[in-house]
Homo-oligomer: A and B are copies of this chain.
Amino acid sequence: MSKNVLIIEGDGIGVEIIAAAEKVLKAVNEIDNLNLTFDTAMLGGRAYDQYGKPYPDDTQTKARAADAILFGALGGPQWDGKTERHLRPEAGLLDIRSDLGLFANLRPAVAFEQLVAASPLKPELVGGLDIMIVRELTGGIYFGQPRGIRTLENGEKQGFNTDVYKESEIRRIAKVAFEAAQKRNKRVCSVDKANVLEVTVLWREVMEEVAKGYPDVELSHMYVDNAAMQLVINPKQFDVLVTGNLFGDILSDEASMITGSIGMLPSASLDVNNKGFYEPCHGSAPDIAGQDIANPLATIMSAAMLLRYSIGAASSADRIQAAVGRVLDAGLRTKDIYSDGMTLIGCEAMGQAVVDAL
């Protein structure tokens, strides 16, 4: 039975990094006889320009039908501050996450050996770093009701949002974290602010309860302010880090920056059946879009994650990752990861190099 992959460029460098990753994915599809079919759709700013909303109906129909989605990036200055919040490019991302129930966001923060020198941290803190951040993606303050801006009796405006989690939401993301840890170093650190926020008191309770089902995995808890510090002074202490939507947004970005390899980091957002949305951790970088200098490797690695989690083609995923390793070993570099003595190439050439190395 053939599986369908929906490919969405998005905005900015999304176009060129997806072109490169698509080439790699299609090559592996041939080599490994994966029998994948492909379709395309739009999401974000250009989608808004064409359809009047960032998550158009056409995209919704195709996304619901697809087995997996490979996405580039979205947003750009031309859509900043111009429209209401629900019409902005980012709303497209929030809408598709919610619509497809993509509650489990997996963001590996890995320091590639070849790129440790690019980290802002001292090399000894970063070498060998390999964290898996598991972020809850369809709940918490991102989607909580009530929300809005109201006018008080004295005429003042007041803005409000609701951070909310129920047991079942916490339980299912906890399971994802514990199962990930079982395949890794068997440690889960749950990040909360249980000394202040009741919503995270419940979070901590449910984590403890779920932990009982995974006696081989060690659970610890950390406050979010401390986690933000520990990621800087001792990131290697973490194996799997699990947290809610907002803290996950902040900490996963902090962690990705620490690796020095942000142009290399993929992400997966999964539903309960491992249907997934795959995208690089970095943004749409409108300042360098269209210049063929973006790094497609994070998107190519996202395609590898797609094969692993949503298609069940682990060996094809390994094939892509090995090819990326060979390309780096050969000294090929895009501008963002370039250092003395390496060979500077563009986005398209990098995609081709990975295809050649497959």
Contact = CB atoms under 8 A, between A and B. Distances in A.
Interface of A: 85, 88, 90, 94, 120-122, 125, 141-142, 144, 147-149, 152, 156-168, 193-203, 224-226, 228-229, 231-233, 246-247, 249-251, 253-254, 256-258
Nearest to A143: B196
Contact of A125 (B90, B120, B149, B231): B120
Contacts of A201: 85, 149, 159
A228 B203 contact: no
A90 B167 contact: no
B167 A120 contact: no
Q: By CB atoms of chain B within 10 A, which of A168, A231, A232 has the most?
A: A232
A258 B125 CA distance: 13
A222 to B, nearest CB: 12
A134 B141 CA distance: 23
Nearest to A146: B162
A246 B163 CA distance: 12
Contact of A232 (B142, B161, B232): B232
15 contacts: A141-B163, A141-B197, A144-B160, A147-B198, A148-B198, A149-B201, A149-B202, A159-B200, A224-B249, A228-B228, A228-B250, A228-B253, A231-B254, A232-B254, A232-B258
B203 A159 contact: yes
Interface of A is mostly: helix
B166 A156 contact: yes
B85 A198 contact: yes
A161 B85 contact: no
B120 A232 contact: yes
A328 to B, nearest CB: 21
Given A168-B156, A233-B257, A225 B249 contact: yes
B228 A251 contact: yes
A158 B166 contact: yes
Q: Which 3 A-B pairs have the closest CB atoms?
A: A159-B202, A159-B199, A158-B166
A229 B257 contact: yes
A88 B196 CA distance: 10
B250 A161 contact: no
B229 A199 contact: no
Contact of A257 (B199, B232, B256): B232
A344 to B, nearest CB: 21
B90 A195 contact: yes
A317 to B, nearest CB: 27
A164 B168 contact: no
Contacts of A163: 141, 160-163
Nearest to A206: B157
Contacts of A149: 198-199, 201-202
